[in-house]
């Protein structure tokens, strides 16, 4: 079974390629972006040494579905999905912040909270909360976009405006879009028997100056989900929540002594572990979308992608 690790395509009118931790983005004539969702796995801002079969297809197809379900709230960058692992969309200039929004005290927020901190990104967190408790209102906790392998960093609204990272008028719109998207995501999740715990959104500006939603949304890599059934009972008993996200990967890494810190060794990812992670991602897809996952033929996966993308570009 082949996976997508690195790509080295040369599409017509290609100007540049950006290679992120998981996605590779080809700039076509400063007009169109071809975003390839690889099967690379990233945790604690570190790319793991082995890829996860079908992960790119899963994330790309969830994101495409969720973009379609939210396009009435904010325009998004997607023009076409020419391949199960590829999205093609409008070229834009990304804002240099990720808009993180949290409905529950989980993950990074909980790690900060249990160290005694009661603010995150300049936003206050109530006293007396337990891990995975619901916040009275969702908190927007932005982070800076990591560059070249650096870690994303928490940043406050005040710092973003003071440093001129985003103009105030634009930032107010980003906050409004973030809240509206999270509300819609929460409603979509509820219909699937899920709780959207936290997520992140990324935005850019089109050539006409319009703010548009970019990257992926409401996927298990960008979001955390709990199962609604039994949530309160588990909270009352102080038990771990049953969740749908890649947090299970982070937890496995932490249990094996890795949190992305200097000098730490990534634990061995056996064939059995890779298979388990792939199956969990398929479970995530089916629970989040309510659809059966169909595995695409991966025999010549890079040739398939190249043919499908060229087919689209040659028609447009």
Q: What is the pLDDT along the chain (316 residues), one digit of tens a residue?
A: 799 999 999 999 999 999 988 999 999 999 999 999 999 999 988 999 999 999 999 999 999 999 999 999 999 999 999 999 999 999 999 999 999 999 999 989 999 999 999 999 999 999 999 999 999 999 999 999 765 545 678 999 999 999 999 999 999 999 999 999 999 999 999 999 999 999 999 999 998 999 999 989 999 888 999 999 999 999 999 999 988 778 788 889 999 999 989 999 999 999 999 999 999 899 889 999 999 999 999 999 999 999 999 999 999 8
Give me the phi and psi of 248, to 5 degrees please. -60, -30
Contacts (Cβ under 8 Å, ≥6 apart) of 294: none
> Which CATH code, of 3.40.50.360, 3.40.30.10, 3.30.470.20, 3.40.50.1820, is assigned to 94-206+216-244?
3.30.470.20
**Helix (H), strand (E) counts: the chain:** 8, 18
Cα gap 190→185, rounded to integer Å: 9
Residues 6+ apart with CB under 8 A from 62: 216, 218, 219, 220, 284, 285, 288, 289
Query: Could you tell me the sign of the dihedral formed by the alpha carbons of 81, 24, 214, 224, in that order?
Result: positive
Domain 14-93+270-315 class, CATH top level = alpha beta
CA distance 230 to 12: 52
Q: Indicate where the chain has its CATH 3.30.470.20 domain(s).
A: 94-206+216-244
């Amino acid at each position: 079974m082949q996976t997508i690790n690195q790509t080295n395509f040369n599409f017509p009118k290609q100007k540049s390629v950006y290679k992120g931790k998981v996605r590779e983005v080809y700039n076509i004539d400063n007009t169109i972006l071809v975003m390839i969702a690889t099967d690379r796995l990233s945790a604690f801002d570190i790319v793991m040494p082995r890829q996860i079969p079908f992960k790119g297809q899963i994330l790309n197809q969830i994101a495409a579905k969720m973009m379609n379900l939210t396009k009435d709230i904010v325009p998004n960058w997607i023009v076409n999905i020419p391949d199960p692992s590829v999205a093609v969309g409008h070229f834009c200039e990304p804002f240099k912040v990720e808009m993180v929004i949290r409905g529950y005290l989980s993950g990074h927020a909980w790690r900060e909270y249990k160290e005694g901190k009661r603010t995150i990104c300049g936003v206050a967190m109530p006293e007396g909360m337990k891990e995975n408790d619901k916040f009275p209102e969702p908190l927007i906790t932005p982070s800076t976009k990591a560059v070249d392998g650096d870690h994303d960093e928490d940043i406050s609204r005040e710092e973003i405006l003071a440093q001129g990272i985003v103009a105030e008028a634009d930032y107010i719109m980003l906050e409004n879009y973030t809240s509206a998207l999270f509300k819609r995501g929460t409603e979509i999740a509820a219909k699937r028997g899920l709780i959207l715990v936290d997520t992140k959104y990324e935005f850019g500006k089109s050539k006409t100056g319009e703010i548009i939603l970019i990257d992926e949304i409401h996927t298990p890599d960008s979001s955390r989900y709990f199962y609604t059934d039994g949530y309160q009972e588990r909270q009352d008993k102080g038990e771990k929540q049953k969740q749908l996200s890649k947090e299970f990967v982070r937890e496995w890494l932490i249990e094996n002594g890795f949190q992305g810190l200097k000098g730490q060794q990534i634990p061995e990812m056996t064939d059995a572990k890779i298979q388990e992670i792939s199956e969990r991602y398929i479970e995530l897809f089916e629970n989040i979308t309510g659809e059966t996952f169909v595995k695409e033929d991966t025999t010549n996966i890079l040739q398939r992608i190249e043919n499908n993308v060229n087919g689209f570009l040659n028609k447009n």
